[in-house]
């Protein structure tokens, strides 16, 4: 089961292991509460601002003042109602996510959670949403990684919004290759049939938010949304920390 270390205890351990130095530039001051990312490196973060696709949240440059769907969404059969991301998946953010997920750099978790909370929490009214549903890992992958980043981020978002986390709602029933280097078509095929609900009964007429770290083509979160919609969910949206472009 995924877990979140109490902040005070985590800070004591990290201060003992590491000096208060940014773990990106290794030059400037940064604390465990800041996820070891200094103010200078923070300047490399790019929050997503309008205009963006009303369906998937893909940002666009220019003077677009009306709601629109991008060509990618028009071509795909996406099962979520909307997807939004806090920041662009590039530079500092992309480096941190990779180190957090694949190199056990757990000290970056407060930084990533803060990015998500800054943008998601103000628009997620707990009276409108029944559950936060993290994208699950296959049991083999979770044993290798020792934690599920989507569950961790969802837990932080739950603490900020009051929306409960339903971590056991979805399970990954088929191991899949990492999506990182796959094309749009390959991603869709790779993830097909990979998810199932533990119990479809509680989801009729429910509204839920799927939580993950990065959204690129939307194939993974759409596959999760498909299961929830098939069980009768009324509304399914997606929030991720970062958006691949």
Residue 206 φ/ψ, nearest 5 degrees: -90, 160
Which helix H or strand E contains 27, and what residues bound it?
Answer: none
DSSP string over 129-177: -SEEEEPPPPHHHHHHHSS-HHHHHHHHHHHHH-PPB-TTSEEE-S---
- pTM here? 0.88
Do residues 97 and 111 touch, judged by C-beta distance below 8 A? no
pLDDT per position as a tens digit, 189-225:
667 888 999 999 999 999 999 999 999 989 999 999 9
Choosing among 3.40.50, 3.10.310, 2.60.40, 1.10.150, the CATH entry for 45-243 is: 3.40.50
Q: Say which residue the tokens 């949304």 belong to.
A: 225
pLDDT per position as a tens digit, 56-86:
999 998 777 788 889 888 888 899 999 999 9
Indicate the domain borders of the chain.
Answer: 6-43, 45-243
Rounded distance, CA 49 to CA 116, Å?
Answer: 14
């Amino acid at each position: 089961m995924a877990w979140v270390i109490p902040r005070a205890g985590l800070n004591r351990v990290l201060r003992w292991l590491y000096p208060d130095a940014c773990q990106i530039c290794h030059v400037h001051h940064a604390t465990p509460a800041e996820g070891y990312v200094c103010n200078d490196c923070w300047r490399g973060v790019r929050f997503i601002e309008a205009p963006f696709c009303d369906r998937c949240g893909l940002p666009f440059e220019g003077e677009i003042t009306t709601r629109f769907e991008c060509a990618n969404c028009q071509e795909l059969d996406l099962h979520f109602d909307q997807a939004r991301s806090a920041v662009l998946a590039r530079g500092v953010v992309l480096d941190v996510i990779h180190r957090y997920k694949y190199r056990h750099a757990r000290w970056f978790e407060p930084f990533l959670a803060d990015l998500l909370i800054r943008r998601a929490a103000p628009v997620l009214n707990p009276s409108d949403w029944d559950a936060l549903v993290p994208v699950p890992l296959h049991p083999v992958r979770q044993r290798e990684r020792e934690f599920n980043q989507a569950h961790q981020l969802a837990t932080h978002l739950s603490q900020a919004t009051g929306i409960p986390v339903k971590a056991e709602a979805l399970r990954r029933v088929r191991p899949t290759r990492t999506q990182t280097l796959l094309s749009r078509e390959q991603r869709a095929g790779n993830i097909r049939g990979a998810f199932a609900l533990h119990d479809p009964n509680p989801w009729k007429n429910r509204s839920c938010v799927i939580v993950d770290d990065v959204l690129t083509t939307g194939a993974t979160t759409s596959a999760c949304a498909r299961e929830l919609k098939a069980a009768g969910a009324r509304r399914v949206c997606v929030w991720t920390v970062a958006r691949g472009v």
